Each structure stands twice: as C-alpha cells, then as structure tokens.
C-alpha cells in the first residue's frame, strides 16, 4: 500500500526521493484516522503516549473518506531544488509523478499531502497543483513534534484532469520538437 521513488542523476548519485501511501478510510475519515493515530501507526497503543496528538481542520479532513492517496515525504538534493537550465523543477516533477503513480495503481477518491508553512509561503506546494488547502495541521508523535504545516487536497477527477492535461501538453511539445 506504499511506494518509494528514488531519483538518480546522470552520475549515479541520489538526487531526490519521494514516498506515496494508499489509505482506505471506508467507514472512517482522515480526521478520525489522524485523531486515533491509526494514520501514523498500525498499532497506536504500542507507540502513543499521553503527549501525542493530531489536530486538523475538521471541515477539510472529515470530507476525505473512502480511498485516499497521500503524496508524502519528499527530499531533493539542494543543488537540484531550483529550476535547471531547461526550467525543470525536480520537486514539481517528483510530486506529479507520485500522484500519477498513486492514481494509476489505486484510483483513489482523494489525494492529499502535508506541507510546512515555509514551503507554503514560498508557493512551492501551490505549484504542485492542489486545488484546496486547510491550515493548521499539528501533531506530536512519540518521537516529538512535527513542524507546523497545512494540508493540500483535491478530488480524483481534478487530479486526473490536471495530470491528463500535463501529459497531453507533453505529447504536443514532443510532436512539435520532432518536426
């Protein structure tokens, strides 16, 4: 129910990583799964202490029910974080690739991610194409606090439409370049 992507540069060095995870919230919601800590732990009782909590914007996280895909943790090597000479931003490519793989593998009803305020304030996550946002999301797990963040989400049909438009555009460019 999960995957990990590894991006390697032309010299064989690690350039980026990205994770994705499928959830089935049938009979539940993202809000309930976060509050119970089941989103973070298969067996919450083994790890959750009285200090642990997860606070979410209820109106946003309660609508995420049924199947969902979390486009998760991403790391991009510092020298590859901005646009390269062709204008490509690695983090945007990895995020879209992860969502495309999540849609292709599981066809979830919802897609969501969490982002730090720093990334949000630099408009990074907005460029990834999420249609909705909800703030704040805070949690404290057995190993300590997570950074304050927000949640971005969109329904499957919107995600599919955006990714289809991107693929259609790439096909047009390839055709024009081929002459």
Beta strands in 9-130 (DSSP E): 14-25, 53-55, 66-76, 110-116
Q: What is the pLDDT of residues 60-87, one digit of tens each?
A: 889 999 999 998 888 888 888 777 777 6
The DSSP code for 124 is T
- The SS3 assignment for 120 reads helix
Contact yes or no for 165/143 (Cβ under 8 A): no
Structure pTM? 0.80
d(CA 69, CA 113): 8
Please tell me the distance from the alpha carbon of residue 63 to that of residue 99, in angstroms, as a whole number: 19
Q: What is the pLDDT of residues 131-178, one digit of tens each?
A: 777 777 888 887 777 766 767 777 778 777 777 776 777 777 778 878
């Amino acid at each position: 129910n999960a995957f990990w992507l590894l991006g390697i540069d032309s010299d064989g060095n690690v350039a980026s990583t990205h994770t994705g995870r499928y959830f089935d919230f049938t009979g539940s919601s993202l809000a309930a799964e976060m509050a119970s800590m089941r989103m973070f732990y298969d067996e919450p009782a083994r790890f959750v202490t009285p200090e642990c909590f997860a606070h979410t914007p209820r109106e946003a996280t309660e609508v995420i029910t049924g199947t969902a895909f979390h486009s998760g943790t991403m790391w991009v090597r510092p020298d590859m974080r901005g646009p390269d000479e062709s204008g490509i931003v690695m983090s945007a490519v990895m995020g879209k690739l992860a969502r495309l793989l999540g849609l292709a593998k599981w066809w979830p009803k919802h897609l969501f991610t969490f982002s730090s305020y720093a990334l949000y304030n630099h408009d990074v996550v907005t460029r990834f194409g999420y249609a909705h946002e909800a703030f704040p999301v805070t949690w404290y797990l057995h190993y300590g606090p997570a950074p304050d963040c927000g949640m971005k989400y969109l329904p499957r049909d919107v995600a599919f439409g955006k990714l289809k438009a991107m693929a259609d555009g790439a096909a047009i460019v390839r055709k024009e370049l081929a002459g």
